[in-house]
């Protein structure tokens, strides 16, 4: 009796382990409505470059530098000194060490004033490199025009661009870089997370089976009526109103194990690289396929025809042409109804089809109606 109980216990654990292995966490399948990042953008200047800036070719870089200096109390409208040692107008700026850039960042959900976020910096002029540059104070705005963060800091550039004796070696890009923790949040974005009795879970990959499975798992864990469907990709979730309880509740919900539905049968083809990805459940109806090319070879030889001695004939050039037609013996393979992925791959490999040939075969199967899958060409 004890051995039977032990066997049943081990069997139950094995079934639970198998289900857990093939299940996904709920947090990987859904996103919470209203809880998202926000895009920020700003225009700024990078200084301290080693002659790799915009130079005199970009007028708005000098204009931006002049405007920034005026805000700092530095006037360049008149002479900088009592005399101009360079013999040129004092308003002419050298901006070889300055570059105009666009600064982008993502403001995380629930980000509070004082927290720091990473920023990306990219040139918009003719600057050759941002290596060694420093981004000066740049306000970052949202789509509503409000300032949500202030950026500044030393730029990290991972690309390499070396030139010598007419040769150039480029690895990555030197006209874009990052500043880790380069922006300080100045304003938070209001969310509806704690404003309503209900939360909305949006399934990332729309699927009725996955949505229904999520509803069942949540209701089985927290009681019937906790989750209900809105449509094929959205779920209404009843949550506690108390902020502490709501955070704890969502922590439990997002760690539930859910077995998602199988994705639709798809065949994705990259025509440029010849890459073909075939998902599961791809089947074909009965079809016979042969694929090959005909090679036509034309060779020409030139000969000279001499007339007989003491004749009135003329020397003529004669061209002989030989035409050969070569048609390889291509094997024909037959797809039986309901052929699965493995059999498709094996059959195509047996005839020695190249990736480009495989693409042509798949497109022909789709056009004939034999391929029971969505064919996506990118």
pLDDT of residue 209 exceeding 60, the answer is yes
The sign of the dihedral angle between the CA atoms of 76, 79, 82, 84 is positive
Most confident of 105-119, 318-332, 359-373: 105-119
The pair of structure tokens assigned to 157 is: 């550039």
Q: Are residues 68 and 173 located together in one domain of the fold?
A: yes
Q: Are residues 152 and 84 located together in one domain of the fold?
A: yes
Mean pLDDT of the chain: 78
1 domain-assigned: no
pTM over 0.75: no
Q: What is the residue range of 288's domain?
A: 266-292+329-377
Mean pLDDT of 277-290: 75
2 domain-assigned: no
306 domain-assigned: yes
Q: Are residues 116 and 196 located together in one domain of the fold?
A: no
pLDDT of residue 16 exceeding 50, the answer is no
Please state the domain count of the chain. Answer: 4
Q: Are residues 239 and 147 located together in one domain of the fold?
A: no
pLDDT of residue 227 exceeding 50, the answer is yes
Among 185, 220, 238, the domain-final residue is 185
Residue 215: φ, ψ to 5°? -60, -45
pLDDT of residue 9 exceeding 50, the answer is no
322 domain-assigned: yes
CA–CA distance, 306 with 202 (Å, rounded to integer): 88
Cβ atoms within 10 Å of 129's Cβ, excluding its own: 21
CA–CA distance, 114 with 174 (Å, rounded to integer): 30
Q: Are residues 48 and 134 located together in one domain of the fold?
A: yes
The pair of structure tokens assigned to 291 is: 């694929």
Q: Are residues 320 and 338 located together in one domain of the fold?
A: no
Q: Are residues 276 and 222 located together in one domain of the fold?
A: no
Q: Give pLDDT tens digits for 167-182.
A: 666 677 889 999 999 9
Q: Are residues 174 and 87 located together in one domain of the fold?
A: yes
β-sheet bridge partners, residue 179: 119
Among 258, 279, 309, the domain-final residue is 258
Q: Are 334 and 288 in contact (CB under 8 A)?
A: yes
pLDDT of residue 80 exceeding 50, the answer is no
28 domain-assigned: no
Among 185, 217, 246, the domain-final residue is 185
pLDDT of residue 82: 41
Higher pLDDT, 33 or 4: 33
Nearest CA to 138 out of 128, 129, 147, 150 is that of 150
β-sheet bridge partners, residue 162: 169
pLDDT of residue 108 exceeding 80, the answer is yes
Do the bridges between strand 287-289 and strand 333-335 make them parallel or antiparallel, or are there none, so unpaired?
A: antiparallel
9 domain-assigned: no
Whole-number Cα distances in Å, 2 to 5, 12, 13, 172: 5, 15, 17, 66
Q: Are residues 175 and 246 located together in one domain of the fold?
A: no
pLDDT band with cut points at 50, 70 and 90 for residue 368: confident
In percent, how much of the chain has pLDDT > 90?
A: 36
CA–CA distance, 340 with 297 (Å, rounded to integer): 40
Q: Are residues 211 and 198 located together in one domain of the fold?
A: yes
27 domain-assigned: no
Mean pLDDT of 7-36: 63
272 domain-assigned: yes
Q: Give pLDDT tens digits for 126-163.
A: 888 899 899 999 999 999 999 999 999 999 998 776 66
pLDDT of residue 185: 96
Q: Are residues 273 and 246 located together in one domain of the fold?
A: no
Q: Are residues 304 and 213 located together in one domain of the fold?
A: no
Q: Are 185 and 206 in contact (CB under 8 A)?
A: no
């Amino acid at each position: 009796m004890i051995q039977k109980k032990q066997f049943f216990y081990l069997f139950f654990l094995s079934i639970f382990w198998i289900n857990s292995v093939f299940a996904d966490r709920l947090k990987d399948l859904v996103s919470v409505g209203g809880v998202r990042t926000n895009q920020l953008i700003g225009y700024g200047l990078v200084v301290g470059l080693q002659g790799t800036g915009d130079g005199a070719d970009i007028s708005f870089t000098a204009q931006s530098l002049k405007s920034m200096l005026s805000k700092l109390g530095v006037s360049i409208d008149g002479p900088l000194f009592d005399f101009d040692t360079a013999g040129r107008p004092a308003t002419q700026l050298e901006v070889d060490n300055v570059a105009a850039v666009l600064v982008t960042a993502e403001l995380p959900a629930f980000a509070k004033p004082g927290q720091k976020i990473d920023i990306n910096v990219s040139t918009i002029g003719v600057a050759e490199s941002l290596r060694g540059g420093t981004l000066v104070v740049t306000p970052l705005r949202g789509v509503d025009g409000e300032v949500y963060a202030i950026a500044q800091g030393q730029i990290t550039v991972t690309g390499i661009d070396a030139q010598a004796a007419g040769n150039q070696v480029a690895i990555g890009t030197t006209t874009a870089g990052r500043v880790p923790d380069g922006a300080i949040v100045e304003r938070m974005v209001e969310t509806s997370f704690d404003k309503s009795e209900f939360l909305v879970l949006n399934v990332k990959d729309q699927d009725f089976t996955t949505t229904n499975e999520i509803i069942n798992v949540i209701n089985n864990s927290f009681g019937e009526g906790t989750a209900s469907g809105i449509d094929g990709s959205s779920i209404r979730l009843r949550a506690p109103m108390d902020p502490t309880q709501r955070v704890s509740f969502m922590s439990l919900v997002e760690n539930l194990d859910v077995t998602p539905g199988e994705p639709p049968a798809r065949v994705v083809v990259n025509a440029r690289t010849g890459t073909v990805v075939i998902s599961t459940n791809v089947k074909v109806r009965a079809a016979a396929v042969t694929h090959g090319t005909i090679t036509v070879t034309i060779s020409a030889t030139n000969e000279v025809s001499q007339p007989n001695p003491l004749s009135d004939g003329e020397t003529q050039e004669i061209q002989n042409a030989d035409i050969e037609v070569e048609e390889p013996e291509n094997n024909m393979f037959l797809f039986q109804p309901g052929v699965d992925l493995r059999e498709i791959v094996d059959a195509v490999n047996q005839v020695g089809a190249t990736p480009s040939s495989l693409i042509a075969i798949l497109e022909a199967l789709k056009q004939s109606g034999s391929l029971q899958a969505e064919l996506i060409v990118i």
